[in-house]
Amino acid sequence: MKIRDDYTCPLEIVHDIIKGKWKTIILYQMKDGPKGLAELEREIEGINQKMLLEQLRELISFGLVEKKSFEGYPLRVEYSITERRGRKMIEAINIMQMVGVDYMLENGMTDALIEKEVLSAEEVERLMNER
Amino acid sequence: MKIRDDYTCPLEIVHDIIKGKWKTIILYQMKDGPKGLAELEREIEGINQKMLLEQLRELISFGLVEKKSFEGYPLRVEYSITERRGRKMIEAINIMQMVGVDYMLENGMTDALIEKEVLSAEEVERLMNER
DNA sequence: CCGTATCCGATCCGATACTG
DNA sequence: CAGTATCGGATCGGATACGG
């Protein structure tokens, strides 16, 4: 990943930070605590190891994720959100999650939300009534 | 832009909604009121008309932007943030803007922030002290 | 379980030319 | 001022194979 030095505005940097299909999802998955690599790969539907490592490396280089390695076997590595910038980005991702949910509610994708356990049937019900 | 129907989570949709180099910047530029096309093109450094129209079309199709055309000459069109989903996304973008600023402060890009009038010299000073 | 390397099609995006 | 069409290089992302 090339780090440029001619950014014209902060949002251009943020785009570099979270661009790609997986970055926000990876961050969101780590919001409740450190995760191992295999764990992330299991929990994120459709990702493969190459993409996961690639994106994690970039997130680390931008100071949103920290990596901690443990010696000995079995090998263990923990990836986690950084306290300052990572946490802040999670705030934004939480809002974006709401926007995505809103879109899904509007477009009759409620079943998917319940199946994937993003929301309970009751929560979907409540949100639909609020709209 | 292809609209898929097999999204596995809300954030995957959001990624489709704001992906690309320009979407967040375009939205941010409209946060204080409707904008014409030429106006946006002038204010967003580095964008060209083709990209602008392309991205606006996608933002409209996802319900984040509205377009209003006026009859007669000179031609006039207004693009604006939608009240529900667009406004919500602006909340997230505001936070992302802060993350970008934080990154710039940490990496000695303060001059750029002041030059582009993102922040005043005083605000930069204050934020640097907070860190 | 963790990480690296390569290949290759899909897409993104910038330049440019043209219309109402 | 607003919008469309096309072309080609750069980048992205999925599959797959291999090494610590």
Residue with the bigger pLDDT between B66 and A7: it is B66
Structure tokens, A77:
């590595």
Pairing of strands A76-81, A65-70: antiparallel
* Position A70 confidence tier, pLDDT thresholds 50, 70, 90: confident
Give the list of residues 6+ apart from residue A87 with CB closer than 8 angstroms, or none.
Answer: A81
B65-123 per-position pLDDT tens digit: 999 998 777 778 999 999 999 999 999 999 999 999 999 999 999 998 998 899 999 99
Nearest C-alpha in A relative to B115: A8
How high is the mean pLDDT of chain A?
Answer: 92
B48-55 long-range CB contacts below 8 Å, 24 or more apart?
Answer: B51/B21, B51/B22, B52/B22, B52/B26, B55/B20, B55/B22, B55/B23, B55/B26
Is the pLDDT reported for residue A27 higher than 90? yes
pLDDT digits 0-9 by tens, B28-62: 999 999 999 999 999 999 999 999 999 999 999 99
Of B12, B25, B102, the CB nearest to A11: B25
Say what the pLDDT of residue A1 is: 57
Whole-angstrom Cα distance, residue A121 to residue A117? 9
Closest listed residue to residue A17, CA positions, set A53, A63, A69: A63
B10 with A84: Cβ contact below 8 A: no
Structure confidence at residue A76 (pLDDT): 86
Chain B residues 41-70 within 7 Å (CB) of strand C: 46-51
Q: Is this structure's pTM higher than 0.75?
A: yes
Q: Is the CB of A77 under 7 A from strand C?
A: yes
Distance (Å, whole) CA A13 – CA B99: 9
Mean pLDDT over residues A25-44, rounded?
Answer: 96
A46 vs B contacts (CB less than 8 Å): 8
* Torsion-angle region of B63 (φ positive above 0: left; ψ -120 to 50: alpha; else: beta): left
| Residues of chain B with C-beta less than 8 angstroms from the C-beta of A97 | 10-11, 14
pLDDT, average across residues A108-130? 92
The answer for B72, left when phi > 0, alpha when psi is -120 to 50, beta otherwise, is: left
Confidence of residue B4 (pLDDT cuts 50, 70, 90): low
| pLDDT greater than 70 at residue A4 | no
B16-53: buried (b, 16+ CB within 10 Å) or exposed (e) per residue? bbbbbebbbbbbbbbeeeebebeebeeebeebeeebbe
**pLDDT at site B45:** 92
C-alpha R_g of chain B: 17
């920290």: which residue's tokens? A66
* β-bridge partners, B67: B79
Closest residue to A88, CB basis, from B13, B24, B99: B99
Paired with B81 in beta bridges are B65
Burial of A41 (0-12, 13-18, 19+ CB in 10 A): middle
Residue with tokens 């705030």: A91
Query: Chain A residues with CB inside 8 Å of B65's CB?
Result: none
Averaged pLDDT for residues A48-52? 96
Question: Within a 10 A sphere around the Cβ of B107, how many other Cβ atoms?
Answer: 13
Question: Is it the case that residue A124 has pLDDT exceeding 70?
Answer: yes
What pLDDT shows up at residue B7? 84
